[in-house]
Structure 1
Amino acid sequence: MSVATRNGPSPVDAPVAPPKVVRQRRVRPGLLGLAVLLIALGGLGSAFAVTSVRATGSYLAIARTVEVGSVLSASDLVSVQVAGGQGLDPVPAGQLADVVGMRAAVSLAPGTLLTMAQLTDQPLLGPGQQQIALGLRAAQVPAPKLRPGDQVLLVSTPRDESGSGGGSSASSTRFTATVTDAVSTEGRDEVVVYLALAVRDVPAVVALAAQDRIAVVLTKAA
């Protein structure tokens, strides 16, 4: 018996893959510094938030417009909660009684925080001026409401000489003044007007007012 054999090509060994080399990633110094900076900023932000919360308090704010020279009342103010307030010096709500009755040194706008720098306990007088008060009937007031800063002219009126039969020949005298405040008297037809005028004019105006010989003319509104 014969056995046939077939000679085929000799087997070929498969190629061996070279071992993989894992490269180590290089950490960039710039990215590392940025990460450290972000962490630091996050810590500062948290500290700022904690500080702001701790600094929250009640302060006084303006509830309605207050003209310069006006006397501050409790109804002009409202208590608000403020967090932080860096760079500000608002008046704490607990000092309400201390500021009521003081005058506004500047115009106060609603919604703004009140500071002591905006107030004064002195009349708003210029150099060489004094303040007087005139009690006027409502019909003698030249405007529905006089405001601080209004410019007025005080004019002397003739003396009443009807009883003596003589006429009035005296010329009128004029004085310029500035309104510092005006207050209506409850239950009476009278308005008390506070005026700032030159020291030299005070004696004459007071004497004319005592004789009810003063007329008030509004020349310029504030």
Structure 2
Amino acid sequence: MTSVAAPPEGYAVAGPTDAPRQVRQRHIRRGWVGVGVLAIVLAALGSATLFRAIGPSQEYLAVTQDVPVGTQLTSDHLTIVRLNNAPGLTPVSVGDAEQVIGSYAAVPLASGTLLSLSQVTEERVPGPGEQLLAINMPANRLPGDVIRAGHPVLLVATSNQINPDPEEEPRTFTARVHELRPGEGRGDDMVVSLVVPERDGAQVAALAAAGRLTVVLVSAGGS
């Protein structure tokens, strides 16, 4: 009988092995790959376009305090801010500061806002042939809360007669609102600063003191 030699020490006898498994390749849809690549390209193009539209940051002028209409601007009213040149904004750049310093506020300027050239004017307030006066007006003689600085208005003098003639034409005066602020007394009275022709200043002041004025808001081209 032939004897089978024992395997050397440390040698493991291999048992039966499984048949090799075939690895299935994952099927990749080329259409989705194309969509993904296209999305990445579009995102990159969009970012580049946005960067070009916004551009690098630049220095502009901003208002440091509330400035009433007609105030002559100085460097104390302004500060320098740095921001991106966002589309739709036209603030005054630092390089154009000489164009606005020494000019006058054409509209009320709010603290913390950017300054634009459309908000300033070279015309002094009051101008030649004009007077600036302040009158106390009850709220029921003002056109609601729509009146603002810069608005043209018509001042209508009411009659002092008990039974006025309805066919009599009232006296009227053209004016421009310079500033509005709440009255210091009780109630809802307003102090209205008006720019009026020099010839009408004294009459308007007297009628206002007698409580005989009503303010009518007119269009920019009205009279």
TM-score for the superposition, normalised by structure 2: 0.49
Larger radius of gyration: 1
